[in-house]
């Protein structure tokens, strides 16, 4: 039986959506709290003065006073194979895929190469304070096996899927409609709900799948009613024009996916930058979700996502935050929020720090349909937790001397901080990373 761990420090967690209910009616902040962890779950949380009598006599608590305790951050769109090409010279999306992404992913036919990249990806993810990610593998099923095997060692709740891609890419990284279906089915049976691992049906995007492949992807999504689905949508105008050429019978890019039964709960669409009102309406009615990927959208010049319209427009949609490595430029969700704020500003709608932290925690969990498991500090939730050093650099430490309240302190983190702000990370109730002691579980 696992021992009880008790953490002490300031805690921040959300119980409602600040985009809807307002910042002041969305979160709990406890300046001096205790968080009890046992068997991978939060068993109690509350103010120190209220819970201190529950500390067993002689028990040594883990004291993070002066630090901020939050749920582990959640990344709703990321390509682990692209870890080796982060920071590759930009270009537009389609050229970038041809020149960088496809050659990089061809190497993942070698499972040991996939394993080595998965190890680095997971380590950097944990060091950035992210404990759950929705992840793209490659067309090779062993790239998914390797990823889940490494995630299982770490104990993380991860979502991953084999890319489905049977056209418009180099022959060496194509599957077929039938092999893609069979490989995905095999992986679902092996990994979905195996411990903390979850499977995601993963057509890369409509241009690289035939109608038959999309049909079989939809069949899988229907056959396994609790699996997930991820793909790309309306990221780049050139991509959208290409979809129109390839699927002239469909009225929109989203309609392609909808026609094949891929729009619904647990379906997460990356980007959605160039959306029409009817797209928001379809997503809202079918309870699908969007992953907002700001660093990637800026890096590839794709466009400016309308976060306010997505969240509070006539047809609201659940939105999570995605790093979208390797077009995305940082593992850190704080840096991702930095760019999300700027995009919102350019759209004429400032995003508050409270809204930002919501997107990175409970908002991400809601967009995945996992809000009953992760994304909040509440009794009964899975114990994925990040401990933040709010004074991680000299200038941040100095700046906070002039911050008037919690919201301003969080905003400073969102703009100036990065992975250096992560003091420790807990996964499934176990400390897996501690910067002070240079500790990482799998080293």
346-391 pLDDT, tens digit per residue, is 999 999 999 999 999 999 999 999 999 999 999 999 999 999 999 9
Contact 84, 344 (CB under 8 A): no
3-class DSSP assignment, residue 185: helix
User: 52 and 147 in one domain?
Assistant: no
- CATH code at 412? 2.30.40.10
Q: Is 62 exposed, middle or buried (0-12, 13-18, 19+ CB in 10 A)?
A: middle
At 216, list the tokens.
Answer: 């079989």
Number of domains in the chain: 2
The residue among 395 and 3 whose pLDDT is bigger is 395
- CATH code at 280? 3.20.20.140
| pLDDT band at residue 93 under the 50/70/90 scheme | confident
Contact 49, 66 (CB under 8 A): no
Question: What pLDDT score does 1 carry?
Answer: 42
Residue indicated by tokens 């500790």: 439
d(CA 244, CA 262): 18
User: 385 and 325 in one domain?
Assistant: no
User: 81 and 65 in one domain?
Assistant: no
Q: Express each pLDDT in 252-311 by its tens digit.
A: 999 999 999 999 999 999 999 999 999 999 999 999 999 999 999 999 999 999 999 999
Q: If you average pLDDT over every residue of the chain, what do you get?
A: 97
User: 63 and 118 in one domain?
Assistant: no
Q: Which of 318, 336, 351 lies at the terminal end of a domain, its last residue? A: 351
- The parent domain of residue 27 ranges over 5-71+376-440
d(CA 327, CA 104): 13
Q: Is 366 exposed, middle or buried (0-12, 13-18, 19+ CB in 10 A)?
A: buried
Question: What pLDDT score does 89 carry?
Answer: 85
Residue 362 inside a domain? The answer is: no
User: Which region among 55-59, 138-142, 218-222, 427-431 has the lowest average model confidence (pLDDT)?
Assistant: 55-59
User: 48 and 157 in one domain?
Assistant: no
Q: Express each pLDDT in 98-124 by its tens digit.
A: 888 999 999 999 999 999 999 999 999
pLDDT cut 70: percent of the chain above it:
99
At 30, list the tokens.
Answer: 């406890």
Residue 244 inside a domain? The answer is: yes
Residue 9 inside a domain? The answer is: yes
Give the dihedral sign, CA 334/339/342/343. negative
At 246, list the tokens.
Answer: 């390839």
Cβ neighbour number for residue 387 with a 10 Å cutoff: 23
Residue 357 inside a domain? The answer is: no
pLDDT cut 90: percent of the chain above it:
96
Q: Is 248 exposed, middle or buried (0-12, 13-18, 19+ CB in 10 A)?
A: exposed
User: 218 and 334 in one domain?
Assistant: yes
Residue 318 inside a domain? The answer is: yes
User: 271 and 158 in one domain?
Assistant: yes
User: 77 and 62 in one domain?
Assistant: no
Q: Average the pLDDT over 10-29 and give the result.
A: 98
Question: What pLDDT score does 380 carry?
Answer: 98
Q: Which of 309, 335, 351 lies at the terminal end of a domain, its last residue? A: 351
Residue 47 inside a domain? The answer is: yes
Residue 366 inside a domain? The answer is: no
User: 118 and 260 in one domain?
Assistant: yes
- Cis peptide before 368, with omega less than 30 degrees from 0? no
Residue indicated by tokens 């999306």: 93
Residue indicated by tokens 């306010």: 308
User: 343 and 271 in one domain?
Assistant: yes
Q: Give Cα 410 distance to the centre of its chain.
A: 20
User: 301 and 178 in one domain?
Assistant: yes
Residue 361 inside a domain? The answer is: no
Q: Is 316 exposed, middle or buried (0-12, 13-18, 19+ CB in 10 A)?
A: middle
User: 203 and 169 in one domain?
Assistant: yes
Residue indicated by tokens 């026609």: 259
Biggest CA-to-CA distance, the chain: 71
Q: Express each pLDDT in 393-426 by its tens digit.
A: 999 999 999 999 999 999 999 999 999 999 999 9
At 72, list the tokens.
Answer: 């582990």
Contact 178, 224 (CB under 8 A): no
Question: What pLDDT score does 2 carry?
Answer: 65
Q: Average the pLDDT over 240-244 and give the result.
A: 97
pLDDT above 50: residue 70 = yes
d(CA 7, CA 438): 19
Residue closest to 330 by CA, chosen among 294, 288, 290: 294
Number of helices (H) and strands (E) in the chain: give both, helices first: 18, 17
């Amino acid at each position: 039986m696992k021992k009880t761990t008790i953490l002490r420090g300031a805690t921040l967690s959300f119980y409602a959506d600040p985009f809807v209910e307002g910042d002041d009616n969305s979160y709990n902040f406890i300046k001096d709290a205790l968080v009890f962890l046992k068997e991978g779950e939060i068993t109690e949380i509350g103010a120190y003065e209220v819970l201190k009598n529950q500390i067993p006599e002689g028990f040594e608590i883990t004291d993070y006073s002066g630090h901020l305790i939050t749920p582990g951050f959640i990344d709703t769109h990321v390509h682990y194979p692209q870890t080796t090409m982060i920071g590759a010279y930009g270009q537009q999306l389609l050229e970038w895929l041809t020149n960088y992404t496809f050659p990089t992913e061809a190497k993942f036919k070698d499972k040991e190469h996939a394993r080595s990249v998965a190890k680095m990806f997971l380590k950097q993810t944990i060091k950035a304070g992210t404990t759950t990610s929705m992840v793209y593998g490659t067309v090779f099923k062993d790239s998914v096996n390797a990823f889940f095997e490494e995630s299982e060692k770490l104990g993380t709740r991860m979502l991953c899927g084999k890319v489905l891609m049977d056209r418009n890419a180099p022959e060496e990284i194509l599957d077929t409609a039938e092999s893609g279906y069979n490989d995905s089915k095999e992986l679902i049976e092996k990994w979905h709900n195996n411990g903390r691992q979850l499977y995601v049906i993963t057509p890369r995007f409509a241009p690289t799948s035939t109608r038959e492949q999309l049909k079989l992807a939809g069949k899988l999504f229907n056959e396994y009613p609790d699996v997930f689905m991820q793909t790309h949508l309306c990221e780049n105008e050139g991509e959208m024009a290409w979809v129109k050429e390839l699927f002239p019978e469909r009225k929109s890019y989203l309609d392609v996916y909808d026609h094949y039964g891929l729009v619904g709960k647990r379906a997460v669409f990356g980007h959605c930058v160039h959306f029409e009102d009817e797209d928001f309406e379809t997503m809202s009615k079918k309870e699908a979700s969007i992953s907002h990927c700001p660093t990637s959208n800026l890096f590839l010049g794709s466009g400016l996502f309308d976060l306010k319209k997505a969240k509070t427009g006539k047809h609201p949609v659940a939105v999570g935050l995605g790093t979208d490595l390797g077009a995305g430029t940082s593992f850190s969700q704080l840096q991702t929020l930095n760019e999300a704020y700027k995009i919102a500003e350019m759209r004429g709608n400032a995003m508050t720090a409270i809204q930002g932290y919501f997107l990175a925690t409970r908002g991400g969990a809601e967009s995945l349909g996992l809000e009953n498991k992760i994304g909040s500090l509440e009794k009964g939730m899975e114990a994925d937790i990040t401990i933040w050093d709010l004074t991680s650099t000299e200038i941040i430490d100095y700046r906070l001397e002039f911050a008037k309240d919690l919201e301003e302190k969080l905003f400073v983190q969102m703009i100036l901080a990065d992975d250096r702000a992560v003091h420790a990370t807990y996964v499934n109730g176990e400390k897996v990373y501690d910067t002070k002691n240079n500790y990482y579980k799998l080293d």
